[in-house]
């Protein structure tokens, strides 16, 4: 079993829809949770960075962490074709020197 | 545009060549990283520099040799690479190692003939 599980998709939704992207994990020591967006032929771009449980909002993006369920989510409201990309979750813990443990990435396609 | 700049964007080299990848950041970050990313896979950590000293080497073959000349620059020297080394090589930086967000460059796409 991988430490971090993420459905690779592709996930295809119509423009304007609310998108929900998710990761589950097995290591209860993870404390820091990140979402990166990666366009084709580009590097990962940090979208959201959260510590421990709770919600964080930034514009159209909301990150949720539920440590009791070992489940994190990224919601995208009013999705746009420009949101089409691969979304990677990553997490880290003090007991592994804060090295990022990555999900596989979900390919998201927003249809105009 | 990212704040971590990598050059060249593309590199094609033969198995006997020697080349270097370069990374530069001007955010005052004191931790810098090299990652390797294969198609449709997440990045894999190769090396970590903290305050210009190598702190983590993830059992990377010696044909990859990192160098950190100063706090803003990171190089990756390549020699006698194999076709399976073809990948996107990403540089990242963070304020320091630990629980700090890492910011990535757009990478160098390397092809080994």
Of A31, A49, A103, the CB nearest to B101: A49
Q: Looking at chain A from residue 8 to 47, which residues have their Cβ under 8 Å from any Cβ of chain B?
A: 8, 31-32, 34, 36, 41-46
Confidence of residue A2 (pLDDT cuts 50, 70, 90): confident
* pLDDT at residue A86 is higher than 80: yes
Of B56, B98, B106, the CB nearest to A42: B106
Q: Over the stretch B90-112, which tens digit does the pLDDT of each residue have?
A: 999 999 888 889 999 999 999 99
pLDDT, residue B1, reads 55
DSSP state at residue A18:
P
Q: Over the stretch B4-33, which tens digit does the pLDDT of each residue have?
A: 999 999 999 998 899 999 999 999 999 999
pLDDT, residue A1, reads 73
Distance CA B104, CA B92 (A): 4
pLDDT, residue B2, reads 65
A68 CB burial (10 A radius; 0-12, 13-18, 19+)? exposed
């Amino acid at each position: 079993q991988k430490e971090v599980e993420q459905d690779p998709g592709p996930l295809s939704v119509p423009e304007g829809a609310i998108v929900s992207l998710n990761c589950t994990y097995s290591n209860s020591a993870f404390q820091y949770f990140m979402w990166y967006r990666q366009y084709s032929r580009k590097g990962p771009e940090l979208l959201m960075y959260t510590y421990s449980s709770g919600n964080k909002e930034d514009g159209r993006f909301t990150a949720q962490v539920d440590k009791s369920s070992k489940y994190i989510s990224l919601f995208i409201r009013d999705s746009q074709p420009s949101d089409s990309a691969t979304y990677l979750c990553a997490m880290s813990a003090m007991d592994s020197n804060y090295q990022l443990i990555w999900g596989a990435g979900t390919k998201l396609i927003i249809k105009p | 545009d990212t704040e971590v700049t990598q050059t060249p964007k593309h590199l094609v080299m033969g198995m006997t060549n020697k080349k270097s990848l370069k990374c530069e950041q001007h955010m005052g970050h004191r931790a810098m990283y090299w990652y390797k990313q294969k198609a449709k896979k997440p990045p894999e950590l190769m090396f970590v520099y903290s305050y210009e000293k190598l702190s983590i080497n993830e059992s990377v073959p010696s044909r990859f040799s990192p160098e950190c000349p100063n706090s803003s620059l990171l190089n990756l020297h390549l020699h006698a690479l194999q076709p399976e080394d073809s990948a996107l090589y990403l540089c990242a930086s963070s304020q320091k190692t630990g629980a700090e967000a890492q910011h990535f460059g757009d990478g160098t796409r390397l092809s080994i003939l």
